[in-house]
Amino acid sequence: MDFKLLMTFLAKLRKNNHKEWFDANRETYEALRIDWVNFVQRIISQSKYFDSDIKHLEAKNCIFRINRDIRFSKDKSPYKTNFGAWMNKGGKKAENAGYYLHLEPTNCFLAGGVYMPSPAQLQSIRQEIDYNYPRLLKILKDKEFVKNFGGLGGDKLTQVPKGYDKENPAMEYLKHKSFIMYHRIDEKLLKNKNFDKYIVGVYKAMKPMIDFLNEAH
């Protein structure tokens, strides 16, 4: 994958986010998209050794369209300025916790977990946290987890969630509305021939938390 070309293309798209420019550069985009599918498939192939739940995934079903949904947005720019991929055991549209890859000029990152779960899924995750808080703490305090993510991110309630005692020792995590692991990527790493292995290493550090969240189903 020519990441330099990808970053150049996306940077130019950011400045020329309209159909005329995109159509004039569609050939470049299509070539980059093919390379992107192949790169994501390589990530899946390497990740299956520590997470067999995703070994069946096809990269073409994990990547996101470049077109934005502008129906309810004030921003009518027709195209996204990033390449993204979402990998989880149920497929891109499933609610399962999974792994995310986001490449964009000045904003490259890896993420994982569950973003804005449904009310039923959120209730199940909170129940899992309440029942298995010691296990959650062990995951969050693991040195690899701390090194890669710092802590657990995601929007949180300001009040105690309904049905829980404010003195619950797990309250800090019960307040979460999303459960996100975030790892910023230095763009210099895009030049590294082992960039794919770097990504897989970060995903491996996510795996215990991914399992915890998925067991809440």
Q: Where are the domains of the chain?
A: 3-214
Please state, for a pLDDT cut of 70, what percent of the chain lies above it: 100
**The predicted structure's pLDDT at residue 148:** 98
Q: What is the pLDDT averaged over residues 126-155?
A: 97
Span 148-161, pLDDT tens digits: 999 999 999 999 99
Span 73-82, pLDDT tens digits: 778 899 999 9
As a whole number of angstroms, the distance between CA 59 and CA 39 comes to 8
Categorize the per-residue pLDDT at 62 as very low, low, confident or very high, splitting at 50, 70 and 90: very high
pLDDT value at 189 more than 80: yes
pLDDT value at 10 more than 80: yes
Span 38-57, pLDDT tens digits: 999 999 999 999 999 999 99
**The predicted structure's pLDDT at residue 98:** 95
Span 108-123, pLDDT tens digits: 999 999 999 999 999 9
Q: Are 138 and 83 in contact (CB under 8 A)?
A: no
**The predicted structure's pLDDT at residue 43:** 97
Q: Are 133 and 170 in contact (CB under 8 A)?
A: yes
pLDDT value at 94 more than 80: no
Closest by CA to 58, choosing from 86, 84, 30, is: 86
Q: Retrieve residue 145's tokens.
A: 């987890």
**The predicted structure's pLDDT at residue 91:** 73
**The predicted structure's pLDDT at residue 95:** 80
Categorize the per-residue pLDDT at 216 as very low, low, confident or very high, splitting at 50, 70 and 90: confident
83-87 sheet: strands from edge to edge:
83-87, 98-103, 109-114, 179-184
Determine the CATH number of domain 3-214: 3.30.930
Q: Retrieve residue 26's tokens.
A: 């569609």
**The predicted structure's pLDDT at residue 144:** 96
As a whole number of angstroms, the distance between CA 38 and CA 44 comes to 10
As a whole number of angstroms, the distance between CA 87 and CA 59 comes to 8
